Amino acid sequence: MSEPTVKKGWLRALIFMPIWFLTMMVVVGGGSVLMMVLAGVDMQDPASVEGYAAGMESMDFASPVMLGMSVLQILASFLAIWFMMAVFNKEPLSNIGLSIKDRGQEMLAGLGAALLFIGGIFLILWCFGAITVTGAVGLKPGVMMVSLMLFVAAFDEEIVFRGYVLNNLMDSMNRWWALGVSSVVFALMHAGNPNVWSTFVPMTELFAAGFILGISYTFTKNLWFPTFFHFGWNFFQGLFGFEISGMGVDSWKAIAHENSGEVSDIISGGAFGIEGSIISLCSTVLGTYLIYKYYTK
């Protein structure tokens, strides 16, 4: 294996960020224009463009356009990471943790852990009267489209924040510092989500999420457990009727419920959803500890 062009891992992670942003602007920007043209938007008519943009803001998770945007984003991420690995790391792209050999058990464990995690928090909130179940909705036709979109989105974030950023930070610092720095970056990337600043909990939970998603990677250098856990985390949140980081989930929720109003938003999560609940934050810390103990037993 060749020596990396840039020896310090933290510096490679730092260089990556503007390259990733630039690649995202080119690929997603260009792809978005193409999608607008294919949708019949008159690029010379400001009203037509504004109408399309307004429709994007209220786009449903099950929309093919949402899937298309997710595909463009992961394509941009792969291109940026491939460039960094080839030019600065001098390693094959697969070294970010893409091997699927003997990883089926980890994939299932990720999904199972996510179901246990989200289902457990739902039961706690329900038992303490923080939420009131108003009915069962049942699975909707768009659930497969939503699942595909959520998986692509989760995989995208994992190759970036764990596969490249955390991976390279670990070359320069110990496990916990690397997790801490990558988690700050991960949280800041979600700082524009709806209602994320409603209380102190959402941003703190997003920071903690970087730890629970990254802790297994620090032992295995493989992305499949965190990817399936991340996907399951989002999918089961929606299935149980919780907003995902402040965004609505009407296209695939199976259970309808509402905040009871008898407890504060810090307990229920408020408009941000389950990730805005102190119960979720405590569960994330506990989950990180349990995964760490599993790998150090």
Distance in angstroms (rounded) separating the CA atoms of residues 214 and 204: 16
> Does 76 score more than 90 pLDDT?
yes
Does the CA dihedral 126-132-138-140 come out positive or negative? negative
Is residue 3 assigned to a domain? no
In a domain, 213, yes or no: yes
- Dmax (CA) for the chain in angstroms is 63
The string of pLDDT tens digits covering residues 12-33 is 999 999 999 999 999 999 998 8
**Predicted local confidence at residue 246, as pLDDT:** 64
Angle between helices 224-239 and 104-127 (to 10 degrees): 30
Report residue 46 as tokens.
């400001």
| pLDDT score of 59 | 63
Structural domain for 114, as ranges: 9-296
Which residue from 19, 16, 33, 18 is spatially nearest to 69, judged by alpha carbons? 33
For the ranges 3-17, 57-71, 204-218, 244-258, the lowest mean pLDDT is seen at 244-258
**pLDDT at res. 40:** 80
The string of pLDDT tens digits covering residues 139-197 is 666 788 889 999 999 999 999 999 999 999 999 999 999 999 999 999 999 999 888 99
Q: What is the pLDDT of residue 141?
A: 66
How far is it, in rounded angstroms, from Cα 8 to Cα 14?
A: 10
Closest to 153 (Cα-Cα) out of 209, 97, 75, 95 = 75
Asked if residues 212 and 284 have their Cβ atoms less than 8 Å apart, the reply is yes
DSSP for 253-290?
-SEEEEE-SSS-HHHH-GGG-GGGSHHHHHHHHHHHHH
Q: Is residue 286 part of a domain?
A: yes
Q: Per the domain annotation, does 23 fall within a domain? A: yes
- The share of the chain scoring above pLDDT 90, in percent, equals 66
Place of tokens 């959803």: 273
| Entry pTM | 0.93
Q: Is residue 38 part of a domain?
A: yes
What single DSSP character describes residue 129?
T
Residue 152 falls within a domain, yes or no? yes
Q: Cα separations (Å) of 170 from 13, 134, 177?
A: 10, 47, 8
Q: Is 4 within a domain?
A: no
Q: So what's the pLDDT on residue 1?
A: 61
Q: How many domains does the chain divide into?
A: 1
Give the pLDDT of residue 57: 62
- Helix (H, G, I), strand (E, B), or coil: what is residue 134? strand
Domain-embedded: residue 74:
yes
Residues 6+ apart with CB under 8 A from 94: none
pLDDT exceeds 70 at position 56:
no
